[in-house]
Amino acid sequence: MAFFSCQHVGVGVALAVVLFSLLVGNGVLEVEASHHIYRHLQSSSLSTSQSSSSHHDPQPYRTRYHFQPPKNWMNDPNGPMIYKGLYHLFYQYNPKGLVWGNIVWAHSTSEDLVNWTPHEIAIYPSILSDINGCWSGSTTILKSGKPVILYTGINPQNQQVQNLAIPKNSSDPYLREWVKMPQNPLMAPTPANKINASSFRDPTTAWLLPDKKWRMIIGSKRDHTGMAILYTSEDFIHWVQAKQPLHSAEHTGMWECPDFYPVHLDSLLGADTSIIGPNIKHVLKASLDDTKHEYYTIGTYDHHKDIYTPNHGMVEGDLGLRYDYGKFYASKTFFDTAKKRRILWGWINESSSVADDMKKGWSGIQAIPRTILLDKSGKQLVKWPIKEIEMLRGKPIDLSGKLIKHGSVLEVPSITAAQADVEISFRLTKLKEVEKFDPTWTNPQLLCSRKGTTVKGGIGPFGLLTLASEGLEEYTAIFFRIFKAHGKYVVLMCSDQTRSSLNPTTDKTTYGTFVEVDPMHEQLSLRTLIDHSIVESFGAKGKNCITARVYPTIAIDDKAHLYAFNYGRETVEITKLSAWSMKKAHIN
């Protein structure tokens, strides 16, 4: 079967060895999820009417400034990096259909993380150790400054094993051709190591310590204990499994797409993956296969014992901290050496049915890349859209200094509401009507489901109605609600999809999170990126994020509206409201 690949099967073992000897000399990336299997659709072809280039079908749900391929299925972001001044993104892709299957590594590059140029498929099944699939993995920059890829392959026995690929020509900034090493697989399940052959995937970015050994982790599980299996290597070819995992947690199930990296305690800059020191904490993230949620902890890495310990009070599992409390999975970070920042990528899967995906001809997008830093409290991370996305902003619309009373809806005029960037901040004028918080309300998502947009409260719900129809038959609401508990205030942030679409087959899950902010002394801020079928929201300057995937039937293109609203009994003040129409990016 022919693939659009830059990798030549005829490249011999000797050439691969020579190339690697030239590369060896620091840095890495990630990963794969389990999916519903639709074998009859894995190689489906699109009709002309389904093509994204159809003249009569403008694809109202296709995003205009989010990363996605022209057609077919996409999931995990793989191996993001910067090399010779170009940003690279590889991703899991089905070149033959729009459901998961036939997985290869597709590849695009960018000068600004906004506009992207596609290249040939970078890695596709061609050797025994990946013949049934080239699943997720990571890139690492070696000491020589050259990149390599570690990825999970599926062998003829359907075992998950780890492989290495290197650039055929490392002087090519586009890295269009990759060669697989003859030693593959480098790591595999055996009777001796007792690794679960169906739960051993997604090698991370490697880090290099003063002992001149590389470390990296691979997601796995034993029974229902999720774990990050640690490997070390002196040459990036021969890897030795450590006696114990870097970290594990009971009752979390399979850890997909693990990520492990340092963050500064005293700097607004990102940290290189190999940095250690007294003013450094580490972050360990896992994507939970059982629930399709991610969580992370912040803690201490003992590099002498190769053990990671989360800070006291960190919650492991589904109720732990998340990058994003909505649709956001299989995420991966990389260190941008050019701008000294750490950037987060994440896959946004669909809320539409497979039948509707067939009609539109594609499935899956990537979230807007986000910078990631440790909050000044040291208790959580702060995520914010990369600065470069602001180059797409048009003329600003300002509606600051408005009071919105009980039951008020205020339209934001003169913008393309289906393709916009909006920043809004609220000040609470009073806190007399605050609702009492029940201490049994430990799950914010369930609380948002019970107290949705139409459930009027004391203070809140107030926020934004996005992708709204003129008559409010459809809208996706992002809002805050305030409670009082034991002498302190509790701030709930919700993304309510229950009225996002009149299509009965669309998933309309509501998402929620508690926000660590004091409404007595701080304003409540919200930034929302709207792009036709996606609503990415950043609360409290990026402390909490919620991404929604929505498919309205009325509120599309120029029939979409944007409103600020307040359905609580207490009046709130809009201290700032700035909104921009967003231009279209050049993507693939």
DSSP 331-367: EEEEEETTTTEEEEEEEE--SS-HHHHHHHTEE-EEP
**From the candidates 76, 336, 357, 421, which is the catalytic residue?**
76
User: Which tokens go with 371?
Assistant: 């910078």
- CA-based torsion, 61, 67, 71, 72: positive or negative: negative
Q: How far is CA 30 from CA 201, 209, 335, 379, in A?
A: 9, 20, 13, 25
> Can you point out the beta strands (E) in 250-304?
255-264, 280-288, 293-302
Residue 485 Rama label (left phi>0; alpha psi -120 to 50; beta): beta
Dist. CA 263–CA 564, nearest whole Å = 36
Dist. CA 173–CA 166, nearest whole Å = 13
Helical (H) or strand (E) element with 134: strand 134-141
SS3 392: helix
Beta-ladder partners of 293 = 288
Asked whether the beta carbons of 254 and 220 are under 8 A apart, the reply is yes
For residue 172, indicate whether it is catalytic: no
Dist. CA 453–CA 72, nearest whole Å = 34
Pick the closest to residue 379 from 283, 277, 269 (CA basis).
283
Dist. CA 120–CA 115, nearest whole Å = 17
Asked whether the beta carbons of 218 and 45 are under 8 A apart, the reply is no
Dist. CA 532–CA 146, nearest whole Å = 39
**Active-site residue numbers?**
76
